[in-house]
Amino acid sequence: MIKIAPSILSADFCNLERDIQRVSSADWLHVDVMDGMFVPNLTIGPPVVQSIRARTEMFLDVHLMVEKPVRLVDAFARAGADLLTVHLEADMPPAIHAALAEMDRLGVKKGIALRPITAAEAVIPYLCEAQADLILVMTVEPGFGGQPFLAGQLPKIQAVRRYIQRYRPECRLEVDGGIHPATARQAAEAGADVLVAGSAVYSAPDPAAAIAALRG
Ligand code: DX5
Ligand code: ZN
């Protein structure tokens, strides 16, 4: 069963509670955290996640686009994240493994994200040794909403799906960037089971209908 995770990056931050309620028919809420270093944009920190946690029961899928994410795992876990996803490019492998171990200690689910340039094979140690709960394949360069889907990532989604089936079948495969109904179908056919969508949901006149359309 496909899960839909609207990204509040495309919400109106002055009306965040209203915009979270507008997507309550979705499965997860995707929160894009950017530090102005790993990506050029700067967005949300732990106090905002804590305020969101107080106003919704939705599963909080927090995507950390930050350098050296091990520094921030504790703060976002305590703020109420259910799942923390770190980029494997954001630090040296031992430090990324340390970030995942910290998530285990704090009882949050753990995800690993790949920029478009990163090869599928890079996920293998995180599936086998770190026992990741989710792999996130980016289908745009991280940093901004509203970019076109990079169809060249579809073979990588298929390859990551094969590694998941081989090494850790319970792991979820999330795709993020440029998802609208047509690309949602392509990503799902390639093996994705969680789809993030920002602009496709929030630029629609009826976000609930947009979520239903993404389910296909
Ligand atoms: C981009 C973020 C995405 C973004 C997706 O760096 O990780 O989650 O919100 O936005 P759309 O769906 O508009 O591509
Ligand atoms: Zn994201």
Report whether CATH 3.20.20.70 matches the domain 3-215.
yes
Share of the chain above pLDDT 70, in %: 100
Domain boundaries in the chain? 3-215
Find out whether 53 and 44 touch, Cβ atoms under 8 Å.
no
Element (H, E) at 133: none
**pLDDT reading at 198 higher than 90:** yes
Name the token pair of 19.
């915009």
What does the pLDDT read at residue 162? 98
Average pLDDT, the chain: 98
Name the token pair of 168.
């850790």
Strands 59-65 and 28-34: parallel
Q: In the structure, what pLDDT confidence band is assigned to residue 2 with cuts at 50, 70 and 90?
A: very high
What burial letters (b/e) apply to 172-206, b meaning 16+ CB within 10 Å?
A: bbbbbbbbbeebbebbbebbbbbbbbbbbbbebee
Nearest atom of ligand 1 to the alpha carbon of 179:
12
For ligand 1, mutation pick of 31, 42, 140 (most atoms within 8 Å of CB): 140
CA separation for the pair 65, 85 (Å, rounded): 9
Find out whether 86 and 118 touch, Cβ atoms under 8 Å.
no
Instruction: State mean pLDDT over 194-213.
Output: 98
Model pLDDT for residues 114-132, shown as the tens digit of each residue: 999 999 999 999 999 999 9
For ligand 1, whether the C-beta of 184 sits within 6 Å is no
CA separation for the pair 130, 132 (Å, rounded): 6
Instruction: State mean pLDDT over 194-203.
Output: 98
* 32 flagged as catalytic: yes
* 27 flagged as catalytic: no
Q: In the structure, what pLDDT confidence band is assigned to residue 37 with cuts at 50, 70 and 90?
A: very high
In sequence order, which residues have a C-beta less than 8 Å from that of residue 112 and are 6 or more positions away?
Answer: 85, 86, 87, 88, 96, 100, 123, 126, 130, 132, 134, 135, 136
**pLDDT reading at 216 higher than 90:** no
Find out whether 62 and 88 touch, Cβ atoms under 8 Å.
no
Q: In the structure, what pLDDT confidence band is assigned to residue 113 with cuts at 50, 70 and 90?
A: very high
Distances (CA, A) of 68 to 11, 39, 87, 172, 182: 27, 13, 9, 23, 35
**pLDDT reading at 18 higher than 90:** yes
Q: In the structure, what pLDDT confidence band is assigned to residue 109 with cuts at 50, 70 and 90?
A: very high
Model pLDDT for residues 67-83, shown as the tens digit of each residue: 999 999 999 999 999 99
